[in-house]
Structure 1
Amino acid sequence: MEFKRSLVKLVAVLSLFFTGVSLINVPNLNQSQTVQAASKKGKRNAVAELAKKQVGKPYVYGATGPSAFDCSGLAQYVYKKAANKTLPRTTYSQVNKGKRVSLNHLKKGDLLFWGSTSSPYHVGIYVGDGKYVHAATPGQGVKKQAISMYFYPSAAKRVL
């Protein structure tokens, strides 16, 4: 009888031990995914906020900041400073980065392109609430505008 009691205790202890070991070795994928998602959301928000801070600066063809921009220079500058993400210099190259997203499901920081989807002539940064920031023209400089049917983007890319 004493042997059975000792055996039951041993089995109980081993059971608790192995249960504890298996719980320790199981990674919590949900927590990791949540941290990664929060990190991406934070970077997207930082991109949008820095883009908005550039409003009012002049447009200068070939300029990449910090005091003047052309459209692709603005995108390149903001992504590097806000998210430590290096984008190519031209809209023609920037459109090849990231994944294509629907214009109906934009998130802050998404790049908006105008012109053909393979060879766009203009880029802006979506900042939320149906608005984007872009280096418009030499006469207008960097502006924040609402997406309109009169100047509707042809493509959007998510690089964060």
Structure 2
Amino acid sequence: MSVAAAELTGLIGRPWVVGAAGPDAFDCWGLFVTVQRQCFGRELPQNPVDATNLRAVLDAFSGHPERQRWQPVIAAEEGDAVLMRQSRYPVHIGVWLDIDGGGVLHAVRHAGVVFQTLAALDAHGWRIEGYYRFREPT
């Protein structure tokens, strides 16, 4: 298990709360920002969007300037962003961790912080929209 993965397993089970960025509760973006800062040394902006308003989330995901620092990749590595959807539009983000062959740590409404393998994501209706790797702007 990687150092990041070992640190993050303690977050599993913490509740989902709209707008929360830890340490006691998270929404998906708050968890992603916290993990990137604590485990990978990346400072990402907060995104003050009401996570219960899917239209606002979609607009924030598609037009946010932070997306320019994340490049699409075919296969995920530890720390990569995982953009997901349960419907037609990608409105959810998690972080790839190399635990048990790999999976996604994410904060889910009504479930809290969970780690799910690809098979578990599929079983819960999550579809991977893409993997993204952080790149410093040149």
Residues 53 and 96 of structure 1: is their aligned pair in 2 closer, same or farther, counting only changes over 3 Å?
Answer: farther
**Which structure 2 residues correspond to residues 73-152 of structure 1 after superposition, within 5 A?**
73-90=30-47, 92=61, 93=64, 94-102=66-74, 105-115=75-85, 120-128=90-98, 129-137=101-109, 139-148=110-119, 149=122, 150-152=125-127
Query: Does the Cα contact within 8 Å between 1:48 and 1:125 map onto a contact in 2?
Result: no
* Structure having the higher Rg: 1
The structure whose residues are more often strand, as a share, is 2
Residues 67 and 126 of structure 1: is their aligned pair in 2 closer, same or farther, counting only changes over 3 Å?
Answer: same
SS at match of 2:84: strand
TM-score (norm 1): 0.60
Higher relative contact order (CA 8 A, sep 6+): 2
SS at match of 1:74: helix
Match of 2:25 in 1: 68
Unaligned runs of 5+ in 2: 48-59
TM-score (norm 2): 0.69
The 1-side partners of 2:68 and 2:46 are apart by 12
Match of 1:5 in 2: none
Of all paired residues, the percent bearing the same amino acid is 27
The 2-side partners of 1:46 and 1:87 are apart by 20
Match of 2:133 in 1: 158
Tell me the number of residue pairs that the alignment of Structure 1 and Structure 2 aligns. Answer: 110
Residues 75 and 50 of structure 1: is their aligned pair in 2 closer, same or farther, counting only changes over 3 Å?
Answer: farther
Residue type at the aligned position of 1:99:
Q
Q: Deviations over 1:69-92 (max 9, x none)?
A: 000000001111222211232461
The 2-side partners of 1:46 and 1:95 are apart by 26
Unaligned runs of 5+ in 1: 1-44
